[in-house]
Structure 1
């Protein structure tokens, strides 16, 4: 009996010691909790331009090049590269030791297949194809080449593109899958691994440190340099109720709100425990389905543009006066390097009476307009309600159909007619990079035959875009830009409803928040 008692006590002592030893391990797990701006449902950043999927991509994948904080492309997965004097042959060598999160090596064949997939999907990739007929080829396990029939001036800019189909590197077998449906398997070489076993769609997505990630030695600089994070675990929480999200931040239950509901910006500015900052320049867009009536008629789209009052849209979305412009009649960013007002004069001042006349002259016959309204993103909901009000003020027959943003993201890919499960219009927003040039703006860069929801097509716009891409002299390039912009007002791939700056909010103890920009999940810039 005495022996058994001593043995039991010894076992208890060992168990207690083991428990105590495990406590430091648990305590060392550093977790960042983020209220994401949307629910992530599509896990393939090469399939959709949705920002939540793009952000997912940056958590788990890496790229050949990355833009630093000055907007300069820097080698990321690439160790060294060279180009021939005529600019037609590029040679790239991968950094040694790169691995995917399952421990398998990253090879040149993976890079080639990923670039072929990207070239066929992205606006810069398609422009490269049209001008230069690119040929990607693996030379050995770590070296690959890009051969061009004609020089293309945006090679590095394309390989470091930060948004709208970023050129992420995935295994060859995945990269070669059809692009007609999203890839469901996630296997990258980025800083984190997606914890599928903890994924709760509509609630939470979890990422843990990738044990096989090989960081660069340079310090982090935006999307360039080391992406080794201070956090072992990152949780994306989906809290569509704004009050719950704000309360969680103020109580310290979460560290960061990725996009603050506009109505809460001013109250949070008064909270000493919270930091609020602007996150670049963005635009609100009304996107119209150009396959079906009534928006297959550019004259109808122009009538809608004439009715849009940007000040009312931005005020309705709730952004404070110091975070919005009264008016921006540019498809590119007002105040940005490509700012242009060519062709905008007829639309500079909203005029409902004139817009009604334009709609009647366009031959609108009362066709139903199915407007997809997001229920779970406050500023998009407000933007959508303003869109519905604008259309109705014109006398259009509007059918508002409400669902969450993720569902809209899937539905907008349907080509069917509005009365057969399709749609006529949805609202969205675009960050600065995704608005500010004829080739990075998703809808301005969409050549005829594209797969972009809305399916814009204008042959003249395609020709002018190509002229801008080929122009090398700065003066001629500006002329080409203005000509393109003027035609965009005639073709109207979408309608800009205003320019503003969104806000992020973080607990005061979270360091590096000032480095966040453009809605990108730069987790490696943060610490606490």
Structure 2
């Protein structure tokens, strides 16, 4: 099942009205179909190549994982049936469960998993760290593979079962052998839904159908773990760039579910007895500003510190969330409410000092050149956050050029290390689930310098501290290391946290048993047809 990149060009040719009605053809009338509004426009289909949440959500439909995180934060087996560890803690042996098939009918093999682990380990921060501790990963037989470490570490299952980007999804060997720096061109998984490639219209609609040969686990569903029992036949994910049109479609029943309803438009459905608003994640999200450390003026630490002192978290939170019961100021790099919560070095993150920021810009020699701020205009959370960022930057004396684009374009452009004059960028605002940043190993900025995430910060002392944290078992010592890591990152201004908030999901009364999760799962979910 290969797709052609030529169909990207169809996006502008298909209107929203077509997207709303296309899936109602008589051929589909006898199927239980859920029509949903996704968090954004799906352009990139490879969840290893990008950390974009729209791609992560797509991937959970199509692919499966060796292990998964349950609602209590514990790691549970998913594709794996059993595993054992040698007495010295160096050799981990995993056996796959019976009945695993790819969507093309081929059996899932250990070699597929080995290739998938290697590709993920080349891209993901936690995966890279695991590979640093790995001597080899190889198949033993069709259903068994082993991981041999060079030092015993306790986060192997945490790495394989991480819930957030980049999730180590298993792919067929021929696909997983794609260069990690190139996007895959074939979408074949073993997950509970299959991607219907010939119905994908970028910029309009993505379709998934139940994979009839999927064998779920026996356990009840719990966050990303447990049995992925599918009670519906088809999901039609309809992209509507106009937020008002999207909310109206939910209110009228044209769609069943909205994965990320914008806060300012919630009043459109809050009084509607046919619509439920429910929290999708108890810890929520961290909003943060990504800074390009390669391009002037923010290749200068003083200029980055100016951004820090010029930031006021409540400006962002009041704008994108509003309701004070659903947000908080938080200076913890790894999130408030997590085991790695720290307050070390947080003063400049939580304190607005405009005059100090202006002085730092002068020290940095800022010459008035425009700051390129990328604005994902179709994202109901990040677009207003980008506008707040523009105001904040101007407040401290920066000249700002806001460049609007859709979120999918931003997720591709952010990979560019080009200068501003050659299409590069300076800053953008994004977010992460707290689950996805809750400790030094899984945070977006777990890696540094040439291996760093977008923005490419470089603080050479941090990697050794993170390695020590990974090897340490004493919780008090780990806390001390977290303090040091956070303080160094804030001194270097690796990035800027902008607050912590808890969004909601909205769905019609016909929808039941939605699993609370930062990534909306369509297994377990039911739709009444009465």
Asked if Structure 1 and Structure 2 have the same fold, meaning a TM-score greater than 0.5 normalized by the shorter chain, the answer is yes
Does residue 1:362 correspond to 2:364, yes or no? yes
| Equivalent position of 1:398 in the other structure | 400
| Equivalent position of 2:521 in the other structure | 522
| Equivalent position of 1:18 in the other structure | none
| Equivalent position of 1:150 in the other structure | 151
Instruction: Tell me the CA shift for residue 267 of structure 1.
Output: 4.3
Instruction: Tell me the CA shift for residue 268 of structure 1.
Output: 2.7
| Partner SS state of residue 404, structure 2 | strand
> 37, 42, 45: which one pairs with 1:43?
45
Structure 1 residues 70, 335: CA separation in 2 closer, same or farther (over 3 Å shift)? closer
| Equivalent position of 2:475 in the other structure | 474
> 406, 431, 434: which one pairs with 1:429?
431
Structure 1 residues 453, 265: CA separation in 2 closer, same or farther (over 3 Å shift)? same
C-alpha contact (below 8 Å) 2:321/2:501 kept by paired residues? no
In structure 2, distance between residues paired with 1:417 and 1:306: 25
Q: Which structure: larger Rg?
A: 1
Instruction: Tell me the CA shift for residue 347 of structure 1.
Output: 3.9
| Equivalent position of 2:499 in the other structure | 498
Q: How does 1:54-133 map to 2 (within 5 A)?
A: 54-130=56-132, 132-133=133-134
In structure 2, distance between residues paired with 1:511 and 1:40: 25
| Equivalent position of 1:20 in the other structure | none
In structure 2, distance between residues paired with 1:233 and 1:243: 25
Q: How does 1:191-206 map to 2 (within 5 A)?
A: 191-206=192-207
| Equivalent position of 1:226 in the other structure | 227
Structure 1 residues not aligned, in runs of 5+:
1-22
Structure 1 residues 239, 148: CA separation in 2 closer, same or farther (over 3 Å shift)? same
In structure 2, distance between residues paired with 1:493 and 1:265: 34
| Partner SS state of residue 378, structure 1 | coil
> TM-score normalised to the size of structure 2?
0.92
Instruction: Tell me the CA shift for residue 254 of structure 1.
Output: 1.0
Structure 2 residues not aligned, in runs of 5+:
1-24
| Equivalent position of 1:8 in the other structure | none
| Partner SS state of residue 523, structure 2 | helix
| Greater alpha carbon shift after TM alignment, 189-198 vs 394-403 | 394-403
| Equivalent position of 2:208 in the other structure | 207
Instruction: Tell me the CA shift for residue 223 of structure 1.
Output: 1.2
In structure 1, distance between residues paired with 2:412 and 2:95: 37
CA offsets 1:245-302 (integer angstroms, 9 cap, x no match): 1111111111111011010234433222111122221111110111111111222111
In structure 2, distance between residues paired with 1:356 and 1:315: 24
Instruction: Tell me the CA shift for residue 419 of structure 1.
Output: 1.1
Structure 1 residues 423, 486: CA separation in 2 closer, same or farther (over 3 Å shift)? same
| Equivalent position of 2:13 in the other structure | none
| Greater alpha carbon shift after TM alignment, 58-67 vs 347-356 | 347-356
Instruction: Tell me the CA shift for residue 142 of structure 1.
Output: 0.9
In structure 1, distance between residues paired with 2:440 and 2:301: 19
C-alpha contact (below 8 Å) 2:248/2:268 kept by paired residues? no
| Partner SS state of residue 114, structure 2 | helix
C-alpha contact (below 8 Å) 1:59/1:521 kept by paired residues? no
Q: How does 1:14-53 map to 2 (within 5 A)?
A: 28-53=30-55
C-alpha contact (below 8 Å) 2:250/2:508 kept by paired residues? yes
In structure 1, distance between residues paired with 2:26 and 2:430: 45
Instruction: Tell me the CA shift for residue 78 of structure 1.
Output: 0.8
Structure 1 residues 243, 149: CA separation in 2 closer, same or farther (over 3 Å shift)? same
| Greater alpha carbon shift after TM alignment, 38-47 vs 269-278 | 269-278
The alignment covers a number of residue pairs equal to: 501
C-alpha contact (below 8 Å) 2:113/2:173 kept by paired residues? yes
In structure 1, distance between residues paired with 2:172 and 2:155: 25
C-alpha contact (below 8 Å) 2:60/2:191 kept by paired residues? yes
> TM-score normalised to the size of structure 1?
0.92
C-alpha contact (below 8 Å) 2:70/2:224 kept by paired residues? yes
Q: CA RMSD in A?
A: 1.6
> 326, 348, 364: which one pairs with 1:323?
326
